[in-house]
A and B are shown apart, each in its own frame.
Chain A
Amino acid sequence: MNDEAGLATVLLAMFAGAIRVSTPFLFVSLGETLTEKSGRINLGLEGTLVFGAMSGYAISYHTGSPWFGVLVAGLGGTVFGAIHGYLCKLPRVNDIAIGIALMLFGTGIAFFFGKAYIQPQAPRLPSISFGFWAENPSVRQALEINPLFLIGLFLAIFLWWGLKNTRWGLVVRTTGDSAPAALALGIDVDRVRLLSTMAGGFFAGVGGSFLSLYYPGSWTEGLSSGQGLMAVALVIFARWNPLYCFAAALLFGAAGALGPALQSIGISRGYHFFNAAPYIMTLLIMIASVSPKRSLKGAPGELSITK
């Protein structure tokens, strides 16, 4: 095999892998961005993601419609978001603690109901072929783009635009940055946070359904392995900016695809090391981009970690 073809294969595999792997990260981090912009942290999204994967798969199996599965996964996430949003407004309740409780609850309940769906095959989400023009089969395959990725891309742009150019965007940012200011404007802070957490939960649920309905494409208990938590960290990395979330998710996906891509051309030395690439990369970028002299730019002022 000559080197050039090998490199092209790796790059193509990384490209396809980036899009595949990044989709759940993208949805969860967009949801978390919205929630955190309103001033709360929802660490429970890992649980929402797993529950979304399970419920999406189950519904797709029973109804035969994967898109209906996606919707139900999102609605399940909305319910988790509503529980989080409601509990956090009670006095002396900490959002991080509630988040951890909900993470365990979501995973637990998904495992409980999910036992029956580990074996059966459910219909999966279709992909859209953008590679019809290409002759090379591997290019064609790399251009099989899943529709959720595209929806996520539009969602990122929409959120970025909406946070600046719509009333609800300004209201969410106001609530997240200064609750006293929001109160003085007559904004119902708890309600804004409840709704933002519910919307965030919806996105995370949809991200979960991607895992079971597209890639890897079946329901197992080890499906998520902490992707929901990583996505929450990604939000800080992306400085609470939806467009950066998109970029960060892609970068993360590409780094994650490095190991399998190298393996596909027969390089398997250091496979586990390359699998850890996203984490190492995140750490390095984090170290390079923070400074002890200033606080995190863009951090909503009401977050319990920055307050």
Chain B
Amino acid sequence: MAVLQSRPEGARRAIGLETIGMTKAFGPLVALDDVSIRVRPGSFHALLGENGAGKSTLVKCVMGFYQPTSGSALVNDREVSIPNPKAAHALGIGMVYQHFTLVPSLTAAENLVISRADTPAVIDWAKERKALEAFLETTPFKVPLDMPVSGLSAGEKQKLEILKQLYLDQSFLILDEPTSVLTPDEADEVLGLLRGMTEAGELTILMITHKFREVTAYADEVTVLRRGRMVGSGKVSDLSIDDMSRMMIGDTAIRESAARKAHSGEPLKLEIAGLFADDDEELPALEAVNLKVRCGEILGIAGVSGNGQSELIQVLSGQRLPSDGRIFIDGKPYEPERKLMDSFKVFGFSEEPLRNAAVPRMSVAENMAFRTFDKVPISPFRGWLSPSPMLKKARDLIAAYRVKTPSTEEPIENLSGGNVQRAILAREISGEVEVLIVANPCFGLDFASVAEIRAQIMDQRNRGAAVLLVSEDLDEILELADTVAVMSEGRITYTSPMDRTDRATIGHAMAGHH
């Protein structure tokens, strides 16, 4: 009926959404079990839950990315069928996925234009550019339009994802951990803008997050999932952080961070001398980086993302060739080769483990055996693999590190984001570690896992390992590091023992004043 569909100009449009008895099984694993949630029009709704609770699965069912095993969705109290994401877009529902869905080789402008439902058959770029620039004027974000997206920083990509949804003029926006790659300031900028739009009644937001700070600052209502079930919901103003975390993890105790053991006069373990390296565009990314880490010390490298940290980690893990410089361990030259990693007991893990530390389509057990598959007992004879010790080892690690997976045989890419991280962590720090190189180890983890992983890193330190921790999260550095170094434009611009510096000084150095 045409009368019902026409809506008055301006008095748009935020829509409400409800799921009823949503259930989704992946084979034997029930990822979602009879979940009913209700998001009021014009509200800012937070969806909480530990890693693997089923948050992403729920919203993907709503988007038509997955077909629920049973259950239905209501939009403005009317039942709708959403067979695919296109149908969701037509209803005004848009989503920013946990993993980027921008097309890397297309420019920002191309990404925006192609995302529209009515892209013209022949694109008049002059006209489109004008429209895009006019649209960008209305938002506080600046994103370069003509660069291929692969060249943008993580923060810019995330802003572009959100811009894309605003550009599409959706009236219901689902955000899956939108701020995990943003700095706190960027997060405030983005969420503040979205909050304003919900208050104006233009938009309804359903946001998945692990950060309580964002929930209390921006959300009106909250729903909590645990192990695939809805375990609670309510107004944010009626709930304390404690209530919410209890809903998320039940009565499981959170691991307390181990106390920092005092060391003194420990020998020098890892030394990086005059390291230079180029980035993918063959421009200098690292310039004369010198670092020293002693046994039983955590060296925290702080810095705004994109200042050479990922190149440093890539050089140290053997993914990138340095153009100059040396690495020493125990005073002996070190190259990141399997044999030397093995003899010097160097381990590490970094952000985006699916890209950097795992083979997505191999099973969990195989991925967990990457360090040990060529050694006794998995390989009793040279070149001969014996599956049962491998499976046993994987089962032990899965139990010890509480990796949530349907079986040891599941391709690791099917695990939830946080559980991939745990699986890799289990592989890397379950043995004897002398040098540990970690980058942003807690990206996208729920608070219990964060506590757990930080405690594990501290344990390794207390046991005498030399730890190099690169993190964009200053709080993480302040909590863990013994010594802090700041990286800016590919150089180490500031170094200080932790007890002789403070947040403001480090922040100042990060901003490039030194």
Contact = CB atoms under 8 A, between A and B. Distances in A.
A165 interface: yes
Contact of A170 (B97, B110, B282, B321): B110
A187 to B, nearest CB: 9
A294 interface: yes
Closest 8 CB pairs of A and B: A186-B86, A170-B114, A184-B101, A181-B101, A167-B119, A174-B103, A177-B105, A177-B103
Nearest to A176: B105
A177 B105 CA distance: 7
Given A180-B101, A181-B103, A186 B89 contact: yes
B185 to A, nearest CB: 28
B334 interface: no
15 contacts: A165-B125, A167-B119, A167-B121, A170-B114, A171-B114, A173-B105, A173-B106, A174-B106, A184-B65, A185-B115, A186-B89, A292-B321, A293-B320, A294-B282, A301-B105
A165 B89 CA distance: 24
Given A166-B121, A167-B120, A183 B103 contact: no
Interface in B73-94: 84-87, 89
B241 to A, nearest CB: 33
Given A173-B106, A174-B103, A178-B103, A186 B85 contact: yes
Contacts of B85: 183-186
Contact of B105 (A166, A180, A184, A300): A300
Contacts of A178: 101-104
Interface residues of B, number: 31
A298 B102 CA distance: 16
Interface residues of A, number: 26
Contacts of B101: 178, 180-181, 184-185
Given A184-B65, A186-B89, A301 B104 contact: yes
Interface of A: 164-168, 170-171, 173-174, 177-178, 180-186, 291-295, 298, 300-301
Contacts of B120: 167
A185 to B, nearest CB: 6
B262 interface: no
Contacts of A184: 65, 85, 95, 97, 101
Given A170-B119, A298-B105, A293 B114 contact: no
Contacts of A166: 121-123
B110 A165 contact: no
B114 A185 contact: yes
A301 B99 CA distance: 16
A277 B84 CA distance: 52
Given A166-B123, A177-B103, A186 B282 contact: no
A200 B81 CA distance: 37
A298 B321 CA distance: 22
A301 B149 CA distance: 13
A75 to B, nearest CB: 24
Given A166-B122, A167-B122, 10 more contacts: A174-B114, A177-B105, A178-B103, A184-B97, A185-B86, A185-B115, A186-B85, A186-B87, A292-B321, A294-B280
A165 B103 contact: no
